[in-house]
Structure 1
Amino acid sequence: MAPDPAETKWKDAPDEHDYPAAADYLALLADPANVQRLTDELRAAPIVHKKAKDILRAAGLTLLPHDNPHVAADLDKIDKGKSLSPILLVRGDLVSGAPLQIADGYHRVCASYHTDENTDIPAKIAAPK
């Protein structure tokens, strides 16, 4: 069982390996120049806090179950008091209907949601041009 949401710990900044992981995902959606620009923008972006439930809704993604191996691993980290890495997002577009993209951290969002859907998750957000 995961601890109270107040006990969920977060690192001050994303892990260095999160940026190449985000770029690998974004390469499925954008050309190399835009992927590089978005990755650079994510590195420079300040940390903001967004609720787990809102991130999933804006991305149009379903909540992964707590027994998904990656979600379970993050829930285990929470249970052991280990800090999770902030997530990396690319802003959606309300007018065009383009969803928010979780460039890195989908499993962490789901694990956080399982502890409390109102969990404030630290994130960096880049904007498509």
Structure 2
Amino acid sequence: MAKTSGPSKSQGALKPTVTWLKEPQHHDYPAAASYLSLIAGPKAVSRVVKALEEAPTVTFKAKDLLRAAALPLLPADDPDVVKELARVRAGTALSPCLVIRGSTKNGTTARIADGYHRICASYHLSEDTVVSARIARF
């Protein structure tokens, strides 16, 4: 798969660069569907997963994704964040995150359907680390 990189600089100190795959891995979609099935019915989940598969890959800063989802930053010693940070340091490309767009009209926040730990790991490198994502609406 093709890769893309996002800068990871913090207070002038060079941090590892996060490299992103151009496309999510196939197993990311069932993982997103599993989470989404807790908040929506099967038809809505199928529609949004298809929309995520067809959506372009875009980039946002880690801090913006966490704020839009109103989620806390997981600690750097969280076991899954540790795994993602190790992958970054090893130069392994990460899979783009799958995000459901929030709505100011409906008062809903964005939902990170897959990739929360990747976003948190990216933030720990720098809050301004560029994160690749696919975004769709419910």
Superposition TM-score, scaled by structure 1 size: 0.94
2-side partners of 1:48 and 1:79: how far apart?
23
Structure 2 gaps, min length 5? 1-13
Asked if 1:51 is matched to 2:66, the reply is: no
User: Structure 2 length as normaliser, TM-score?
Assistant: 0.88
Larger proportion of helix: 1
Deviation, structure 1 residue 12: 1.1
| Count of paired positions | 125
Structure 1 residue aligned with 2:100: 90
Shift of 1:49: 0.5
Which position in structure 1 is the counterpart of 2:47? 37
Give per-residue Cα distances to partners, 1:65-110, cap 9 Å, x unaligned: 0100000000000111111110000000112220100000000000
* Percent sequence identity over aligned pairs: 50
Amino acid at match of 1:106: Y
State the match for 1:109 in structure 2.
Answer: 119
TM-superposed deviation, 1:8 = 1.3
1:10 corresponds to: 20
Question: d(CA) in 1 for partners of 2:99 and 2:125?
Answer: 21
More strand by share: 2
Amino acid at match of 2:81: V
In structure 1, list runs of 5 or more residues that go unmatched: none
Structure 1 runs (4+) greater than 6 angstroms displaced = none
